[in-house]
Amino acid sequence: MSVLNVSTIQRFSTGDGPGIRTTVFLKGCSLHCPWCHNPENISPARVDLFYEKAGKTVSYGKPMLPQEVAADVLEDREFYLAGGGGVTVSGGEPMLQPEGTAELAAILKKAGVKTLADTAGCVPWSHFEAVLDSINDFYFDIKTASPEKYREIIGGDLSLIENNLRKLVLSGAFVTARIPLIPGFNDREQELMRIGEIIKSAGVRHADILPFHRLGIAKYEAMGFEYKYKDTLPPGKDAVRRAADIIGEYAETGIE
C-alpha cells in the first residue's frame, strides 16, 4: 500500500484545470526553479513557514493513504460532475510519487471523477507508465529550450523531458504544454520559437502561457530564504500577448 507525501489539499482552485477542481499538492520536486511560487513543496521533508506579521506557523508535509486523500476530495464529487471539473495532482512533482498518485487516480476514476496531473516531466518514463491506466490528462511544463539552462539553473535534463513529452503524446494522453513566461529567462523571441518547436515536434496541440508573478514571495520570507526574483516585474500584457502569438504558430495557445 502506497503512502502519499501531501503538502496541502486546496478546494475550488483556479488555474489548475477546467471546471470546479480540488488540487492535491504533493511534496518533493526534481527541479529547483528559482522563481517557484510553491517553494514549500520543493523538498520532500516537512517544512514549517513562520509568518512573522501574522504571528503564525503553517506546516506542509503529511503522510496520507491514497484512500484518505480520495475520501477528502470526493466530498465535492457532485460539484466536479456538475461543472466539468475534477481533481488535479500537483506539487512539487507528482510523478515522483507515481504509485500513490496512480492509486488515488484509480479510486477517483471508479467514482467517475477525472484526474489531471501537473508535471515538469523530469522523471524516468516508468513513472508515467505507472499512472497511464488511471490518468489521461496532463499539464506538462516546458520552461526553456536550452539544455544548459535546464541543467545549470533549474537542475533538469531537457532530453529526458522531451522524450517523456513525446512518449506521453504517443500513449494517447491529452497533453497541454505549459510555458511559464519568466522575464530575462525564456521570454526572448528565439527562445520562445525553440520552445514552440519542441512542443510541435512532440505532437502537442495545446499550450498555455503562464505569466510570471511574485505571489509566492511571502513564502520565501516565511522560510527564511532569499527570493531571487523579488526585483523582477511580471511581464506586461503586450509581452504576454506576443509570447502567445509566437507559441500560437506551433500549437493552439491560451493565457492562464
- Distances in whole angstroms, Cα of residue 246 to Cα of each of 8, 135, 176, 187, 254: 35, 30, 16, 11, 11
What is the residue-averaged pLDDT of the chain? 96
Number of domains within the chain: 1
Residue 105 has a pLDDT of 98
Reference 83, options 21, 22, 137, 134; nearest CA is: 21
CB within 8 Å of 54: residues ≥ 6 apart: none
1 pLDDT more than 80: no
Q: C-alpha cell of 75?
A: 466530498
CATH code at 40?
3.20.20.70
Q: What are phi and psi of 124, to 5 degrees?
A: -60, 145
Q: Contact 26/62 with Cβ under 8 angstroms?
A: no
CA distance 175 to 25: 19
pLDDT tens, position by position, 186-203: 999 999 999 999 999 999
Q: How large is the average pLDDT for residues 219-230?
A: 95
Residue 13 has a pLDDT of 87
First to last CA, the chain: 36
Residue 83 has a pLDDT of 87
Q: How large is the average pLDDT for residues 126-131?
A: 98
CA distance 167 to 128: 9
CB within 8 Å of 90: residues ≥ 6 apart: 16, 23, 24, 25, 26, 117, 118
Domain residues for the domain of 104 are 4-255
CA distance 253 to 256: 10
